[in-house]
Amino acid sequence: MRPSAPLLLGLCAVLLTPSWGQAEPRYMTDQIEITLRAGDSTRYKILKMLPSGTTLKVLGVDQSTKFARVRTLDGTIGFVPVNQLKTEPAARNRAAELEARLAELQQNPDAVAARLAKIQTELADLKSRYQELERDKQRLEQNLATIRHASTNVLEVTNDRERLRVQVAALTRSGADLEQENRELQNQTNQRWFLIGAGVLAGGILLGLILPRLRLGRRKSAWGLL
């Protein structure tokens, strides 16, 4: 029995097709493009195609249409869908940057070691500066505590001085009152002595007037007895 023509064609296709196990793997590129349109919908014309990772400045967002008004680095203004904007660079760009940095580090190990030594030196300087600042902080806190204590003492001294001033003022008024009373007593004493002196003087005058008369009366009575 002879095989049919379709069967022979199928066998030939299988034999000519390379095996998946022997084929080298390939991957889809992540290079995509988004449309920059003249308006905030897909009805507007495309101004240009923007590759992924393009830096845009957002000028505004329309929440109803979900389109953002943006400006490119060359000054072109258009609209792109909001869901196609990211707050950080694309993973492809970041991976390329990291690969470049890694390659640079691998090519210049001496530069990396020198940079690391510099960073360690700067870190030691920062630690020393931090310790110095801590000591300054403690010293300032001690000075502040001393100033506060001195301020408290000054306040207490001021209060004591005010109390003493009030007491001195009260004593001064009391002394003035006592001096006034003393002057009044002195005046009263002088008046009394003046009255006493006047009384003595008047008594002396009276005696001076009375005694001669008494003597004359006694002489007359004595002459009468003779």
Query: Residue 191, SS3?
Result: helix
What are φ and ψ of residue 80, in 5° steps?
A: -135, 155
How do 77-81 and 67-72 pair as beta strands?
A: antiparallel
Number of domains in the chain: 1
CATH number of the domain encompassing residue 84: 2.30.30.40
* Domain that includes residue 71, residue range: 33-90
Instruction: Give a yes or no: residue 43 inside a domain.
Output: yes
Evaluate whether 84 touches 44 at the Cβ level (below 8 Å). no
Q: Is residue 76 part of a domain?
A: yes
Other CB atoms within 10 A of residue 35 CB: 17
Q: What is the pTM of this model?
A: 0.34
Q: Is residue 52 part of a domain?
A: yes
C-alpha 40/C-alpha 83 separation (Å) is: 13
Whether residue 44 contacts residue 32, with contact meaning beta carbons closer than 8 Å, is answered with no
Per residue of the chain (226 residues), give pLDDT as tens: 444 545 444 545 444 455 444 556 654 455 578 899 999 999 999 999 988 778 899 999 999 999 999 999 999 999 999 988 887 766 666 666 677 777 766 776 777 777 778 888 888 888 888 888 888 888 888 888 888 777 777 777 778 788 888 888 888 887 788 888 878 888 777 777 777 777 777 777 877 777 676 666 665 555 555 5
